[in-house]
Amino acid sequence: MTTHGSFRAQLRLPLVAEKQLLESLVHGATDAPLEETAQGWRLRHAFGHIALQPQSSSLDILLDAEDRTSLAYLQLGITHRLQSLDKSLDLEWESDNTPGMPLPYFREMHVVSTETLTPSMKRVRLAGEDLQRFTHGGLHIRLLFPPSGSASPSWPCIGRNGEAVWPGDKDRPVARVYTIRAIDPNRGHIDVDMVLHEGEAYPGAGWAARARPGDIVGMTGPGGGEAPEAHKLVLLGDETALPAIARILEGLSCETKAIVRLEVANEAEKQPLPTRASLDLEWLLRDERAPGTTTLLEEATKALPIEGNDPDLFVWAGCEFAAFKAIRGHLRKTLRLPNLQHLVVSYWRKGVAGVH
Ligand SMILES: Cc1cc2nc3c(=O)[nH]c(=O)nc-3n(C[C@H](O)[C@H](O)[C@H](O)COP(=O)(O)OP(=O)(O)OC[C@H]3O[C@@H](n4cnc5c(N)ncnc54)[C@H](O)[C@@H]3O)c2cc1C
């Protein structure tokens, strides 16, 4: 039986519907097929349901979802898809996510405490309300750093086309992507482990270096996918992916074999990595190589004891852009590892600010 979520949205498009067009609208959003219904088509999506109902000279898109965040993500996905088909479309949703209200996937957070984990990693504990939705549906968040000196920051709100409407230039916060290292919705806090890379003026690293109890920061999410599951799991990363790898390892069962390669600056950057999985861990220390070496992770990937035709294998990696390209190329071209068995993401790019 089809279940219906309690939150709804509807969009009327001035189009004559063709099934092909409808399929292209939702293509990539889900693997589920379009089911034919009395009124048109319907499909299941991780965030809820999408119904497409052709009228004589228009097309109605109806959404339902279990919570406002999922509804907002569905709206956003469809708006972006439609805009990529036709930029001039003026889209206006009728939605339980009323235009002008705060983004359902936004929380204002404040710093409770900070802890120096290693010379270049600081843990920031952030408190806020209603964090249950951040326990599932993705490991990652965006932190929104208000312009410095702003005592009561302005935050984005929901627009009529489902996209965020941001405060004007002077008040606009700057966003950077981070990982929820740990979350306790009952106590109302999350931990974020932030790299203190060179450059105090950078929004993320600079904010982390200065963070004090009481500081305000915005947070949107969650997103970016859940922890991977496999009997043989390879986890590759540098300092920026260390929080995600540590969280993934904590959640593994004793049946998993985890092969972990972590590139960090030096011995002092190592952290304990508790896990029930059987662990094959190697730290790759940059200071043991020539200055400027950035190929440790790529070399370690090439030396891994894995085969591309192993159906029990999943490879997950988060790292700098050049390493990302090399690792993904090796997995795809040399090992021919199927797309469903790896996720390699560029977490930052040398010399480029705010890549996400
Ligand atoms: C899904 C995802 C999850 C992430 N999780 C985390 C996390 O949990 N903790 C974390 O610290 N980071 C994490 N990152 C990486 C983080 O988003 C980037 O490092 C981001 O660029 C930091 O923003 P910034 O304002 O400090 O620097 P930016 O303003 O973006 O960049 C300024 C300069 O600093 C350089 N730079 C950026 N990051 C680094 C770095 N790590 N080392 C050296 N130079 C750098 C840039 O190349 C640029 O030249 C994650 C990224 C993604 C995509």
Task: Tell me if 179 CB under 6 Å of ligand 1.
Answer: yes
The answer to whether position 1 is within a domain reads no
67 lines ligand 1 (CB under 6 A): no
Ligand 1 pocket, residue 201 CB under 6 Å: no
Q: Which atom from ligand 1 is nearest to the alpha carbon of 350?
A: 47
pLDDT for 1: 36
Within 13 Å, how many C-alpha atoms sit on residue 246's CB side? 18
Looking at ligand 1, which atom is closest to the CA of residue 174? 25
Task: Pick from 183, 191, 202 the residue to mutate for probing ligand 1's pocket: most ligand atoms within 8 Å of its CB.
Answer: 202
Give yes or no for residue 191 CB within 6 A of ligand 1. Answer: no
Pocket test for ligand 1, best of 124, 321, 347, 356 (most atoms within 8 A of CB): 347
Q: Is residue 2 part of a domain?
A: no
**For residue 330, what are the CA distances in angstroms to 306, 311, 326, 347?**
12, 17, 6, 18
The DSSP bridge pattern shows strands 257-264 and 278-285 to be parallel
Whether residue 353 has its Cβ less than 6 Å from ligand 1: yes
Find, among 263, 280, 259, the residue nearest to 120 by Cα. Answer: 263
Walk along the chain (356 residues) and give the pLDDT tens digit of each residue: 344 689 999 998 876 555 666 666 666 555 667 788 998 888 888 899 999 888 888 889 999 999 999 999 999 999 988 888 778 888 999 999 999 999 999 999 999 999 999 999 999 999 999 999 999 999 999 999 998 767 789 999 999 999 999 999 889 999 999 999 999 999 999 999 999 998 778 999 999 999 999 999 999 999 998 999 999 999 999 999 999 999 999 999 999 999 999 999 999 999 999 999 999 999 999 987 765 667 999 999 999 999 999 999 999 999 999 999 999 999 999 999 999 999 999 999 999 998 87
Angle in degrees, 0-180, between the axes of helices 19-26 and 68-85, rounded to the nearest 10: 120
In a domain, 257, yes or no: yes
Domain-embedded: residue 100? no
Phi first, then psi: what are they for 312, rounded to 5°?
Answer: -90, 0
Residue nearest ligand 1's atom 4 by CA: 178
Q: Indicate the helix (H) or strand (E) that contains 11.
A: strand 7-13
Q: In angstroms, rounded to a whole number, what is the distance separating the alpha carbons of residues 304 and 298?
A: 10
130 Rama class: left (phi>0) / alpha (psi -120 to 50) / beta: left
- DSSP three-state, residue 156: coil
Half-sphere exposure of 237 (CA within 13 A, CB side): 24
Does residue 269 belong to any structural domain of this protein?
yes
What is the domain count for the chain? 3
CATH of the domain at 47: 3.30.310.50
Ligand 1 centroid to residue 237 C-alpha, Å: 13
Query: What is the number of the ligand 1 atom nearest to the C-alpha of 351?
Result: 49
| pLDDT score for 2 | 46
**82, 61 Cβ separation under 8 angstroms:** no
Ligand 1 pocket member 205 (CB < 6 A): yes
Domain of 238 in residue numbering reads as 232-348
**Encoded tokens for 228:** 């991977």
Distance separating alpha carbons of residues 161 and 86, to the nearest angstrom:
14
> Would the CB of 143 count as within 6 Å of ligand 1?
no
| End-to-end Cα spacing for the chain | 39
- Pairing verdict, β 257-264 and 232-237: parallel
Atom of ligand 1 nearest to the CA of 345: 53
Token digits for 137?
A: 């549906």
Q: How far is the CA of 240 from the centre of ligand 1 (A)?
A: 7
Cβ neighbours of residue 160 closer than 8 Å, sequence gap 6 or more: 91, 92, 93, 99
b/e per residue 98-108 (b: at least 16 CB within 10 A): eeeeebbbbbb
The closest residue, in CA terms, to atom 12 on ligand 1 is: 240
Domain end marker among 74, 95, 116: 95
**With a 6 A CB cut-off, is 48 part of the ligand 1 pocket?**
no
pTM > 0.85 = yes
Strands (E), 91-198: 94-95, 106-118, 121-127, 140-145, 157-158, 164-165, 174-179, 182-184, 189-195
* Predicted pLDDT at 291: 58
pLDDT of residue 112: 98
Residues 325 and 344 in one domain: yes
Residue 287: its pLDDT value, please?
87
Domain final residue pick, 163, 198, 223 = 223
Answer with the one of 223, 256, 288 that is the final residue of a domain: 223
Regarding the beta carbon of 200 and ligand 1, being less than 6 Å apart is answered no
Asked if residue 127 and residue 90 are part of one domain, the reply reads no
Any atom of ligand 1 within 6 Å of the Cβ of 349: yes
Task: Give Cβ neighbours of residue 1 (< 8 Å, ≥ 6 apart).
Answer: none
Rounded to whole angstroms, the maximal C-alpha distance in the chain is: 70
Q: What's the CATH code of the domain at 202?
A: 2.40.30.10
Ligand 1 site, residue 194, Cβ cutoff 6 A: yes
Q: What is the CATH number of the domain that holds 317?
A: 3.40.50.80
